[in-house]
Chain A
Amino acid sequence: GAVVSQHPSWVICKSGTSVKIECRSLDFQATTMFWYRQFPKQSLMLMATSNEGSKATYEQGVEKDKFLINHASLTLSTLTVTSAHPEDSSFYICSATTGTGAIAETQYFGPGTRLLVL
């Protein structure tokens, strides 16, 4: 149980285009999802926290208009990288909690999406 999927697993796009990444909880309802990015040989950095039906909370230094997050249902959150540039190339990973409201709930991680912007 508690499986999280991401689509696509990898994507190559031209500079200036927008890319949408999906994060789905397959067998549970996720009221909260998290988006992370990971640069090569570096650790995961939290980008934003996404709550179903409300606006995402972005971490300091993350551009809201650049990284659009939508959490329209209890099983799906999307991250759209708008007007992508080569420096946006990274590994994007999402996680989801089961939403019981408990402190420090277990986060279940997706397999990640590798974005390469040419």
Chain B
Amino acid sequence: KQEVTQIPAALSVPEGENLVLNCSFTDSAIYNLQWFRQDPGKGLTSLLLIQSSQREQTSGRLNASLDKSSGRSTLYIAASQPGDSATYLCAATSGGGNKLTFGTGTQLKVEL
């Protein structure tokens, strides 16, 4: 059974700082790994999707990497802004039926 863990659970940084969020998964037989953003009381916004054959994906100030062999993915946020404050979730697609297994999330706060 796939298990996805994220550390840290919460993170507070000053504006402008670069930061890294970590995601680990127990079953390396994944189809892809996704990073989402969730604002309080809201649904999910897809940020980046990395296919199992890829090593990284970039979108603007965001860069996600994937290391299947070690069961890890990282989300790098450059020059953080207060608007980046949200909960970030990673999710691995594996098994039959395209099931997504979500991590526990990292609650990020970027302070002025």
Chain A residues with a Cβ under 8 A of chain B: 6, 32, 34, 36, 42-46, 49, 57, 91, 93, 95, 97, 103-107, 109-112, 114
Contact = CB atoms under 8 A, between A and B. Distances in A.
30 contacts: A32-B98, A36-B102, A42-B104, A43-B4, A43-B89, A43-B102, A44-B89, A44-B100, A45-B102, A46-B99, A46-B100, A57-B97, A91-B41, A93-B43, A95-B100, A103-B98, A104-B31, A104-B32, A104-B51, A104-B93, A104-B98, A105-B98, A106-B46, A106-B49, A107-B98, A107-B100, A109-B43, A112-B42, A112-B43, A114-B41
The DSSP consensus for interface residues of chain A is strand
Given A93-B43, A104-B32, A111-B42, A49 B104 contact: no
A22 B41 CA distance: 18
Contacts of A34: 100
Contacts of B46: 106, 109
B79 interface: no
B19 interface: no
A110 B44 CA distance: 7
A41 B12 CA distance: 16
Interface in B4-50: 4, 31-32, 36, 41-44, 46, 49
A43 B44 contact: no
Contacts of B91: 44
A93 to B, nearest CB: 6
